[in-house]
Structure 1
């Protein structure tokens, strides 16, 4: 840390709080000690005050990152190719593959069946027509999936005129 007389920032206090939490998780601090040091950390004004809170604790090494697990395919909706695939751990790219789109549609279909079933049973159980609220659950989600499916079907390089225009645009 910088010189002990310099003022500490909120980020410095938060970093010390994380270190204290790691030491409590490791069993080096009791809950009472952790609470005491945590309140002192957030009240600290200088680096010197923060240093005192961790002076008797060893350095904390970050835990090694776990190796990515291979996710086995699970049974889906009964149709071939509609099972859960490895897209589940990669939310940012689920729409970029056919398997990801199939799995997203399978999730949508399963949810649609459940919420429409709940709505239908509730309507039948009360003996009167109830507002069809499932449209607000499955409708917007379906619109997004349609857009994702159409975007993935078009794919890169299918609209060559658009690709040529974007190459000509500066920067």
Structure 2
């Protein structure tokens, strides 16, 4: 069974930076959407927030749920030799 790979500090910092940018941009988008609104406003930032949120979750899965690929070295040898 493949072993779980530990997350490196660089990977965690990259994910954290992704999360911070996501939060800042979404705060700005939602502020722009409802700034000066007096009645109902179509919540257009929900599309950006939901799609980007899924990417942040996927990025977290890549960082903390990563397993080794036992055939990776064999694949590298085939690429280099062929």
TM-score by length of 2: 0.66
Q: Structure 2 stretches of 5 or more lacking a match?
A: 1-9
Q: Which has the larger radius of gyration?
A: 1
Change (3 A) 1:127 1:147: same
Three-state SS of the structure 1 residue aligned to 2:19 is: helix
Given candidates 55, 63, 71, the residue that maps to 1:144 is 55
Determine which structure has the larger helix proportion and give its number: 2
Q: Larger RCO: Structure 1 or Structure 2 (Cα < 8 Å, ≥ 6 residues apart)?
A: 2
CA distance in 2, matches of 1:126, 1:98: 38
Distance apart, 1:155 and its partner CA: 2.3
Check the 8 A contact 1:105/1:145 in 2, yes or no: yes
> Residue deviations 1:22-72, cap 9 Å, x none?
xxxxxxxxxxxxxxxxxxxxxxxxxxxxxxxxxxxxxxxxxxxxxxxxxxx
CA RMSD in angstroms, aligned pairs only: 2.2
Count of paired positions? 66
Change (3 A) 1:110 1:126: closer
Q: Structure 1 stretches of 5 or more lacking a match?
A: 1-95, 158-162
Three-state SS of the structure 1 residue aligned to 2:28 is: helix
Which runs of structure 1 show a deviation greater than 4 angstroms over 4 or more consecutive aligned residues? none
TM-score by length of 1: 0.34
